[in-house]
């Protein structure tokens, strides 16, 4: 278990390579990464206080502008909601670390140590004030976890060398806390040390990541993530595309429903070897297309709505069941004129049927698993016409063996079509 002190978590940007590596270590299941409850609450509290200061400044600026604008009403920012800010940052930091609870006895001992000035507690303001109960609670949480899990090794990471020491020796009574744990409790004074232990930096090429992302599985995973992300993004902006080019943008709170995706750009690639597997992190830009026929602008329906989505991803070419993990992402945005040639084509029902008929004539689908996966992806993401889906799935069973039929039934399950599932 890697346990992070507040000073480590505060100084680690969620977009940094160090944060990416912590996510990779968790994804590879080499070690768990955790922070005591009070650490997470301290981070969330600091974000609340920082945001409140900016919110108060914005209110004052709006009030000043209102006084100078008697002919119009100037809208105030939304009411400050401190719990909303806390929930947001708890969720963001939970992408990097899980939370472990501190027992009541550990909190009690932490207060006792502050009262009696026992390490890591001390005085400040020239001895006028006692402090350190939170530091003591964090330390005792890590020690308590090690004692309660005798088969695990604890790697406690803190740069507070003044109170915790440098890992070679510990002030009293902290040295007594570690009796019997000397061979499985280690203090690192920076993330560099623990990352070096578990993740060795290796060469990374953009081409390697492009190859991993240019697959039907990756495209399907990103489309699925895009549909799930529609609940996160309250407002999305896309470009309206017509046969004669791009004309205007759409900013809507209705969410988005992309039906096709294309890989655009890969950048900022890095890689580390973790537990014998190579893990890549990279910044990736995708282009999406959505059916635009329900949107009317300038007296006509648009053909497509196009979006660009920038994200940071984690993936491995060798780790089993690693899949594609989206570490962070920005809001979907309109595309540019330069993007137009690369916006993906939305497969229509007739094209889907032609593809399936050609595949069925070519031979037993079970002999070509790659072709089968491509067809299943086309069915799932290429059309929303339920009758076409049913015809397509039934057509594919004509030459399918038992194993392939099982895949088709699973596909029907994914589509949520009970009638088609029963027919298969």
Structure tokens that stand for 211 in this block: 């190859």
pLDDT of residue 136: 96
Average confidence score pLDDT of the chain: 83
At residue 384, the pLDDT reads 46
Q: Is it the case that residue 329 has pLDDT exceeding 50? A: yes
- Residue 346 to residues 170, 179, 258: CA-CA distances in angstroms? 63, 65, 9
Compute how many other C-beta atoms are within 10 angstroms of the C-beta atom of residue 335: 22
Q: Is the per-residue pLDDT at 250 higher than 50? A: yes
Determine the 3-state secondary structure of 328 from DSSP.
strand
Residue 396 has which token pair? 């594919």
Indicate the pLDDT class of residue 193, thresholds 50, 70 and 90: confident
Q: Please, which pLDDT band fits residue 308 given cuts at 50, 70 and 90? A: very high
420 band by pLDDT with thresholds 50, 70 and 90: very low
Instruction: Report the range of poorest mean pLDDT among 19-33, 92-106, 398-412.
Output: 398-412
Q: Give residue 113's pLDDT band: very low, low, confident or very high (50, 70, 90).
A: very high
Neighbours of 213 (CB within 10 A): 21
Eight-state DSSP code of residue 49: H
Sequence-distant (6+) residues with CB within 8 A of 288 are 223, 226, 256, 258, 260, 261, 262, 306, 307, 308, 309, 332, 344
119-157 confidence digits (pLDDT tens): 999 998 888 899 999 999 999 999 999 999 999 999 999
Choice between 43 and 385, residue whose per-residue pLDDT is larger: 43
Of residues 342, 246, 325, 346, the one with CA closest to residue 286: 342
Which DSSP state fits 337? G
Q: Rounded mean pLDDT of 213-231?
A: 84
Q: For residue range 347-365, what is the model confidence (pLDDT) as tens digits?
A: 655 555 555 555 555 455 5
Residue 408: CA atoms inside 13 Å, Cβ hemisphere, count? 26
The whole-angstrom separation of Cα 141 and Cα 5 is 11
pLDDT of residue 130: 92
Evaluate if residue 205 carries a pLDDT over 70. Answer: yes
CA 221, chain centre distance (Å): 13
Angle between helices 369-382 and 386-396 (to 10 degrees): 170
What is the predicted pLDDT for the residue at 154?
A: 97
Name residues whose C-beta falls within 8 Å of residue 2's C-beta, 6 or more positions apart in sequence. 22, 25, 31, 32, 33, 34, 155, 157, 194
| The pLDDT value given to residue 26 | 87
* Comparison of pLDDT for 413 and 263, the residue scoring more: 263
**Highest-pLDDT range among 154-168, 370-384, 409-423:** 154-168
Lowest mean pLDDT among 44-48, 165-169, 180-184, 228-232: 228-232
Query: What is the pTM assigned to this prediction?
Result: 0.71
In this prediction, residues 22-26 reach a mean pLDDT of 88
| Nearest-angstrom CA–CA distance, 108 and 184 | 25
Predicted pLDDT at 245: 78
Grouping H, G, I as helix, E, B as strand and the rest as coil, residue 62 is: helix
Lowest average pLDDT, out of 59-63, 227-231, 325-329, 341-345, goes to 227-231
Asked whether the predicted pLDDT for residue 279 surpasses 80, the reply is yes
């Amino acid at each position: 278990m890697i346990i992070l002190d507040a000073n480590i978590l505060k100084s680690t940007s969620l977009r940094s390579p160090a944060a990416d590596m912590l996510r990779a270590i968790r994804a590879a299941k080499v070690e768990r990464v955790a922070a005591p409850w009070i650490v997470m609450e301290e981070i969330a509290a600091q974000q609340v206080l920082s945001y409140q200061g900016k919110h108060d400044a914005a209110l004052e600026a709006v009030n000043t502008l209102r006084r100078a604008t008697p002919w119009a009403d100037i809208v105030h920012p939304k009411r400050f909601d401190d719990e909303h800010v806390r929930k947001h940052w708890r969720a963001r930091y939970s992408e990097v670390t899980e939370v472990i609870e501190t027992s009541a006895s550990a909190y009690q001992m932490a207060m006792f140590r502050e009262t009696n000035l026992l390490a890591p507690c001390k005085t400040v303001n020239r001895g006028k004030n006692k402090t350190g109960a939170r530091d003591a609670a964090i330390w005792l949480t890590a020690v308590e976890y090690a004692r309660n899990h005798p088969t695990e090794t604890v790697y406690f990471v803190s740069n507070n060398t003044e109170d915790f020491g440098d890992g070679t020796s510990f002030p009293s009574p902290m040295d007594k806390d570690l009796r019997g744990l000397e061979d499985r409790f280690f203090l690192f004074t920076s993330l560099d040390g623990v990352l070096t232990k578990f993740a060795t930096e290796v060469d990374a090429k953009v081409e390697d990541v492009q190859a991993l992302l240019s697959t039907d599985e990756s495209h399907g995973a990103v489309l699925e993530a895009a549909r799930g992300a529609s609940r996160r993004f309250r407002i999305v902006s896309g470009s309206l595309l017509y046969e004669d080019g791009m004309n205007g943008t759409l900013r809507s709170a209705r969410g988005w429903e992309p039906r096709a995706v294309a890989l655009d750009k890969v950048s900022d690639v890095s890689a580390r070897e973790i537990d014998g597997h190579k893990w890549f992190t990279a910044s990736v830009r995708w282009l999406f297309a959505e059916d635009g026929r329900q949107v009317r602008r300038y007296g006509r329906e648009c053909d497509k709505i196009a979006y660009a989505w920038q994200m940071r991803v984690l993936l491995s070419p060798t780790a089993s069941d690693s899949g594609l993990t989206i570490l962070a992402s920005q809001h979907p945005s309109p595309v540019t004129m330069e993007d137009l040639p690369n916006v993906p084509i939305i497969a229509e029902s007739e094209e889907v049927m032609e593809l399936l008929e050609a595949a069925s004539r070519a031979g037993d689908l079970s002999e070509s698993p790659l072709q089968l996966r491509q067809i299943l992806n086309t069915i799932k993401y290429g059309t929303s016409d339920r009758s076409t889906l049913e015809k397509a799935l039934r057509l594919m069973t004509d030459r399918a063996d038992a194993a392939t039929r099982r895949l088709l039934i699973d596909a029907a399950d994914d589509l949520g079509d009970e009638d088609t599932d029963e027919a298969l």
